[in-house]
Structures are given as structure tokens and as C-alpha cells.
Amino acid sequence: MYAALFPGQGSHRVGMGRALYEASPAAKEVLDRAEAALPGLLKLMWEGPEEALTLTENQQPALLAAGYAAYRAFLEAGGKPPALAAGHSLGEWTAHVAAGTLELEDALRLVRLRGRYMQEAVPVGEGAMAAVLKLPLEEVQKALEGLKGVEVANLNAPEQTVISGRKEAVEEAAERLKERRARVVFLPVSAPFHSSLMAPARKRLAEDLAQVPLKRPRFPVYSNVTARPEEDPERIRALLLEQITAPVRWVEVLRDMEARGVKRFLEFGSGEVLKGLVLRTLKEAQALSVQDPESLRKALEVEDA
């Protein structure tokens, strides 16, 4: 029994998905479909430039395509479907594609719009995000008391929290947090994601998502908003929208999975960010990434053991 995890923004890299495309017919099919839905996507994923791939409206469909391609390659090679699945922010959409809630083409078009709307919600330079390290969530929350314009955005690990909001407010919060001996790292993002400042993006995406059919997932997929598995299609639709302005409750997601008996986690797509968060959050867990033929082979060996 394992849980499938799908990464969000920040896990992209030029060349993502190419090795699996060349080695796996299933991955090739997924990525060819992605290219047909969004012409030019594969060139951007494989050749860059990195600045263009990093743009939110490009990075989100690229990560979705790479994550689903890795998952399909795993199944093709004999891997079993997961007991549970979750994705970090954008990755929740990839999880729903893997679970059959959303068709690949619909999801790709929607996350491109999602990224565009999120970028346009706040002018570049007016928002900011920062990772707060080596400080528990309770201490972070105390430091933010009475400070307007900054919110907790991601609860990534027991001592890794991301804050988001107006640039000046995030900078002031950073000074308060440093006084509490936290390490604060400003993130190279173009908008204050998972904050109330994203409300215009949520409103715009609602109109697009309303036009797309959703099915009951083949396996439970966790919502970042509730930190619980959700299976009702209309509730999933509402939560995918709410997720845009709500914090990502990743620590709670992982701990709930562990409480349900999950000890093995496979991260599908690009990078190993979620693998690292699992190992920092759950003492007894095993975590692997699947992003190329070699890591796919190792994941299958563990499953067969």
C-alpha cells in the first residue's frame, strides 16, 4: 500500500519528462496529448528557456503533464494504483487527473488559466512569499499577530511554513520572525499564492471550471483545504477553487495518510521536494520519487520487495 504524491510549483526544470517520453510508451502518449492540447508545451519543457518555463501559466501545465506521465509510466511497468493520493497546491489537479476525476486535456487548459489568473490578480512586485524555517507553526502565527496583509500559505513540514501577502507586510513579518531565531528565505515567485489576494483568480477560474465535467475519483484524493480525502465531484469542484486562497495543509495531509496505514510514498513528476517533506514529517515513512527510467526502476523494486 502506498500513497501517490504530485508536486506543485518550484519543482520544474528544463528537460522534465523527456527521459520517460523516450523510454515509456504510456508517458509518450500522455505528453503527446499534452502537446496537442497546448501546442509548444513540450518544447518549453525540454528546451526552455528556464525563464519562460518558470512563468506560472507555463509551469503549472508542465508540472501536471510531467506528473501524470510519470504515474502512467509506473502503471505501464507493472506498478499498482495507490490507496490514496495528494498533490501540493497545483499537484492536487494532477492527482485528480491520475484518479480520473478530470480529463487530461481539460485539466491542462484549466491550470494554464489558473496560473494566468493568479499572476494577473496581483501586479508583479506587489506581492511576496517567504519560507520560514526552524520555527514551529505556533511561533509563526504568534509573530504574525496584528500584522495585516500577510498570511500563512503553506504548512509544509513541522518547522517549515510559508507566508504570503503584500510585499511590505511579508518583509515586516520576516523581521519579526528573525527576532524569534527563524531562518527566513524569500521565494522566487511572481505572486502571493494561497492568500486572500488571490480572490480575483478564484472568481475567474470558477466560471471556467463550471463548464468542465468532474467524475468520482477512482481512489480518494486529499484536498489541500480540508486535509482529508474527498470523493464527491461537486465538493471537489468547490475545494479546487477554495484552494487558490486557502493555505496548503500538507503536514496534516501526510499525518492523516500515516494514521490510515500508509508508510510508503511515491512522488511522481519532477524533483524531490515532496519526498523531502515526507521524510521531515513522518519518522517511519519511506519516500521515493519517480521522474525518469532509473527512479522508476527503483520504485518498482521496492514495490516488489
Q: Could you list the active site residues?
A: 89, 194
Strands 127-133 and 160-166: antiparallel
CA distance 229 to 231: 7
Q: Three cell numbers at 200?
A: 480575483
CA distance 149 to 172: 10
DSSP E strand boundaries for 159-290: 160-166, 183-186, 221-222, 229-230, 264-268, 286-290
Give the residue among 99, 138, 94 at the shortest CA–CA distance from 114.
94
Placement of cell 509573530 in the chain = 143
| DSSP code per residue over 84-97 | EEEESTTHHHHHHH
Of all helices (H) and strands (E), which one includes residue 85? strand 84-87
CA distance 67 to 232: 23
- The helices-and-strands tally (H runs, E runs) of the chain is 14, 10
- CA 234 to chain centroid, in Å, comes to 21
Q: Three cell numbers at 224?
A: 489541500
- Using an 8 Å Cβ cutoff, are 12 and 270 in contact? yes
CA distance 268 to 3: 11
Give the residue among 295, 297, 305, 249 at the shortest CA–CA distance from 275.
295
| Strands across the sheet containing 84-87 | 229-230, 221-222, 84-87, 2-6, 264-268, 286-290
